[in-house]
Structure 1
Amino acid sequence: MHLYSRYAFRGLYYGNSAFAACEESNMPSLSDMMGAMNWECMFPVRIAGTRIDPYRDETDNIDQSNMDFNTIVNASGSNPNDSDSSDVFCKCESAGVVTETPIGITVSFWEPTRVIEVVKDSFCFPLLGSDLSGEITGSDADSMRQSKDGTVQVVKPGVQQSFWQAHYYVFPIMAILEVLTDFICMDFSAFDLGYMTEVDPRWDDSELSALLTPETVLFANPVAQLACIPDVMAATVKYTINTLYWCQGAWAKVFPLTGFVTHTGTPVQSQAAILGRTIYNLHRSFVLWGTVGTEAMCHRVPMPIWKKGQYKWQLLWPKRDTKCRVIGEPGFKWSSNKNPPFPDKNPDNFVNLLWRKRDCCAR
């Protein structure tokens, strides 16, 4: 028996949900998406241990390796990732054999490589400018759309949940724009739709998800969530605590890995929680790998447990966020006016750009 009672009507909790509809005529173009990107998010850059950041000000001086937590939570500004290396030179080997050009210099930067859509309307693809719901046929198509669209009411009195779908794209914007094409550290994968939750049987089945991710039993409970309080405080000052991997700062918890989110704040913050869950889910499935730390200098490494500090993200659509945010950053800092309540703006269907930290041995 499912833990949730589902209702396929809109506006139960979010006023905007009454208008949520995927209309191709209202979707942005790819050029609009690219124009919404904030290229300042590429910084800070480190070359041979030297930090380069033209946008850094005097308040932006947090160093995770040299500060205790009490100092961090009382600081402001954006901090460097905790894997930054002060080394100038690096060396790469392959299976114990030194490569042809073994010596290089350390490079660290942020690259925009992935897009994650979080939508209320199943088979709505704003990045592609398409609504494929009409193309889905079969005996279960209607029931699938009805059960997965809109909001969800939980049996427990006073507690409501929303349900979201997510789509993961390989989006190598640098390769598309042919920027730094001769730089060995860049990701030049081909554009691809790599994952969509509509076809994942775990996404709307909490029992199946818990069965396949048994750690849910350990972390999807009030006691484990109390440990997330420091992560909430840290996310408020743009810091992530990687060891608390089951926490998402001020967002809804990571587990269970489903599309159901208990209402926390606004729809924009709820979709952000799904963004984080999707990243974690893809790491656990070895779709996303580690790109930070000395072990990732020469090649990506398996990372089944995510490091939240490897990522920051920017909301591109329906309303652009002018800054990049860390995982779990409280919605009161950024979510205002990011979900226009007008049908022609395709509310409740979001496009998020994922910036990934890259530590590399350039040689």
Structure 2
Amino acid sequence: MNSASIWAFLKHLRGTILQITSISKCLGSLKNLACKKTPSFALKAKVTQWANIRHILRIVLFTHGCLFVVFSSSGYSTLCSGRFVNPITDICWSCLFPISIGPIHVNTSGRQDTPNPHQIPCFCPRPPLPTPIPGIPIGFWEPARLLDVTRIPFCMVSMGGLQLGQSTVGYGIHGSSGERRTQNSFYQVHWYIYPVIYWLELLTDFLCLEQQSFDVGYITELDPLWNEDELSFILNPEAILFGNPLAQAACSADCGAASLDFPLDSLFWCNGCQGSLYPFTGNSAAHNGGVQASLLMVGRMMAKLHRELLLWGTSGTTNREICQKYPMPIIKKSQYKTQMTYPRPMTQGPTACNPLGRTEVFWGVAREFPYKGEDFGYLIWRKKNCCAI
């Protein structure tokens, strides 16, 4: 039942009650006259009957009013959909590869890899010891974060479609503008701490793993910079340099590089085939489908978190880069891969996990569908180079 039909029914009930009230008042005023022609017991029964009907209708009116409040407050929750990520069936565990141990490479999946350190041993400080400790350089891809891209504020897609609250600010939009009817959209993003290898205890006493528990790390509904392009200029003032056709044309090279191997880190303002990483907001001025727009939001969110120093560098070949995390205010795109977990998990094949900016044309078909397939969840694979001691 929609709000229009509910209000029409309530108005009809209100009119009925007013008529009953006027009739009962008339009965009360004509009581003396009616008593002359009608037995007293019959008149009392008539008045009692009308009073009972009026009481019942008032209860019905109150009940329908409560139901209207409940239905209106749960409007967002009926649209929110999602599913908890199953670590067994929804994660592409072959995306852990390639794994490097010094100069030895283990690649059973045929996936691309970034450069790894080859020197043996590596040396890293371990306080309170005064001298660096030798170790073995290791490189692997770690599932570290989960990410929601949703049209509905506070809809936690990766938490089973849990609706945490209501908000009309930044509600997901699919519209068009201009003479060419360019599609545009807006999405909210939720960032989860998700070191699944650690909390499943698949590897114990391995210092290279991030040792945290599952947590909600960031939600854009509480960030005013995510909703306004002008406010986001505080975080990315350099965006004014890349808002021109020449800079955007360079993104075609990034698209080709990401589709064949890894994106070009030197073109840090590009997100490959999905578009521009600037500004760091949920507005997509060129919406070419939910998969394309959601991947663009993934890249923008990670670039934003790097700028806020909430994400650091974890990959590289030098001792500085493999001994510990290091600040990285400009995102290193080749450090990450994405794997779709909702609405249809990608768990097999060479396109199960893809670098940022890779085209979705070959794998994104039928990944978006009405009702329960318009919000998205992604698992973020992060390259980790470390010195195992």
Partner of 1:347: 373
Distance in 2, Cα, partners of 1:226 & 1:349: 29
Partner of 2:29: none
- Secondary structure of residue in 2 paired with 1:112: strand
Partner of 2:354: 325
Distance in 1, Cα, partners of 2:79 & 2:171: 20
Distance in 1, Cα, partners of 2:120 & 2:296: 37
Distance in 1, Cα, partners of 2:384 & 2:77: 35
Contact 2:277 2:299 in 1 (8 A): yes
Matched, 1:338 2:367: yes
Deviations 1:158-204 (A, max 9, x none): 22310001000110101221111211111111211111111110111
Q: How does 1:45-56 map to 2 (within 5 A)?
A: 45-56=99-110
- Secondary structure of residue in 2 paired with 1:127: helix
Partner of 1:107: 138
Contact 2:141 2:381 in 1 (8 A): yes
Distance in 1, Cα, partners of 2:84 & 2:230: 39
Partner of 1:265: 288
- Secondary structure of residue in 1 paired with 2:256: helix
Partner of 1:60: none
Cα shift at 1:220: 2.5
Runs of at least 5 residues in structure 2 that lack an aligned partner in the other structure: 1-74
Contact 1:311 1:354 in 2 (8 A): yes
Partner of 2:297: 274
Equivalent of 2:194 in 171, 184, 189:
171
Runs of at least 5 residues in structure 1 that lack an aligned partner in the other structure: 1-19, 57-77
Partner of 2:82: 27
Kindly tell me: are residues 48 and 91 of structure 1, through their superposed partners in 2, closer, same or farther at Cα, counting changes over 3 Å? same
Cα shift at 1:222: 1.6
Distance in 1, Cα, partners of 2:234 & 2:82: 38
Cα shift at 1:312: 0.5
Contact 1:220 1:256 in 2 (8 A): no
Equivalent of 1:191 in 187, 202, 214:
214
Read off the aligned partner of 1:280 and give its amino acid letter: A
C-alpha RMSD of the superposition: 2.3
Deviations 1:195-239 (A, max 9, x none): 111111011111111243201101122221122221111112132
Higher helix share: 2
Distance in 2, Cα, partners of 1:220 & 1:41: 35
**Runs of 4 or more consecutive aligned structure 1 residues displaced over 3 Å after TM superposition:** 20-27, 94-99, 152-157
Provide TM-score, normalisation by structure 2: 0.74
Kindly tell me: are residues 21 and 299 of structure 1, through their superposed partners in 2, closer, same or farther at Cα, counting changes over 3 Å? same
Number of residue pairs aligned between Structure 1 and Structure 2 = 309
Distance in 2, Cα, partners of 1:109 & 1:270: 28
Equivalent of 2:94 in 26, 37, 40:
40
Q: Which has the higher contact order (CA 8 A, sep 6+)?
A: 1
Contact 2:80 2:157 in 1 (8 A): no
Matched, 1:208 2:231: yes
Distance in 1, Cα, partners of 2:79 & 2:224: 27
Partner of 2:387: 361
Deviations 1:24-74 (A, max 9, x none): 99532343x552100010000000221011223xxxxxxxxxxxxxxxxxx
| Bigger mean CA offset, 353-362 vs 205-214 | 205-214
Percent identity of the aligned residues? 34
